[in-house]
Structure 1
Amino acid sequence: MPTFHPLALPGVIEVRTDRYGDDRGFFSEVYRKSLWQEQGVDADFVQDNHSLSRAKGTMRGLHFQTPPMAQAKLVRVTRGRVFDVAVDIRKGSPTYGKWVGLELDAERGNQLYIPAGFAHGFLTMEPDTEFLYKVSANYSPENDRSVRYDDPAIGIVWPVEVNPECLSAKDKNAPLLEDTDTGFVFDGASA
């Protein structure tokens, strides 16, 4: 049975799942909608994505989609390790521009739930890292946005050096948060 551990930003939750192993390997239940709803998370996941990052120090993020195609995400690593980050981008939120980070790795199998209204990114800590995630809205190029991973106003402390050769053009040219219309406004709810 998974356990839910809220992090410092409202609505961002680490999920730890039990693994049942034997000499063949292991089994783990990573998502059951009814259980998540009992925990107050009612995201309707509609798409799964899978990425491979060959080099240690590969940065992917900080990404989000604007409303009405905003995405909640449930992310995990299936091979390797990442430092995973969520940033509150809801204008007017008491935690606007704040971040929370967590190491996710295939060995532990922990996951991170990131609600809509948060930018998301990760940095690989090992070569050949595979990342799998569910999203609550289909990919929409018209709504796809990013914020600089090294925005000094956010101040994320990345645990390994970002490999500049492993940055996409989108991430190299991402604007600062203060220059981004995120489309999200804090409504007084936690997430």
Structure 2
Amino acid sequence: MILDLQRLPILETERLRLNPLTLEDAEAIFPLLADPEVLAYWEAPEPNDPDVVAGVVRNHVEDMAAGRAMRWAMRRLSDGAFVGCFDITEIDRRHRRAQVGLMLGRQTSGEDYGLEAMRAVIAFAAANGLRKLTARTHLGARRSESVLEKLGFEEEGLLRGHILEDGERRDVRLFGLLL
């Protein structure tokens, strides 16, 4: 069976717990999405209203319930502090592939939480039948690219003008990992 989305597990690493995203996580996610440095390489404008973020999280939870995505809130085991979000989207069961995405708070810089969480999610994806993961980065998102490369992702191409941000087209790099 490929990815039973009705039974999304809690994933645990040495320092992190990844819990399935819930509506209650919106409060912790708002400061992350309101940080211009965090969103510099993201495909969404900065929301300045917690209700907008709550609506986005509600849509994410509905996507999970409908079996279209898997999303986790990441917290440190040591103190329960929220550090970011992780998702598996664009799930294609026929071709056994999906896209992964990660967003971390600025305060976690240098902690390698992204690398640690990504390893757990890759293992979960492989154990549940996925055979390829893709990830996209904006040009200039060197930290994100470094994490992907450390995990064995290879650059597969450049999506020219893929994102419209602040009225201009921006390029995106596509990375892939065969499982």
Q: TM-score, normalised by structure 2?
A: 0.30
TM normalised by structure 1 equals 0.29
Q: Specify which structure has the bigger relative contact order, considering alpha-carbon pairs within 8 angstroms and separated by 6 or more residues.
A: 1
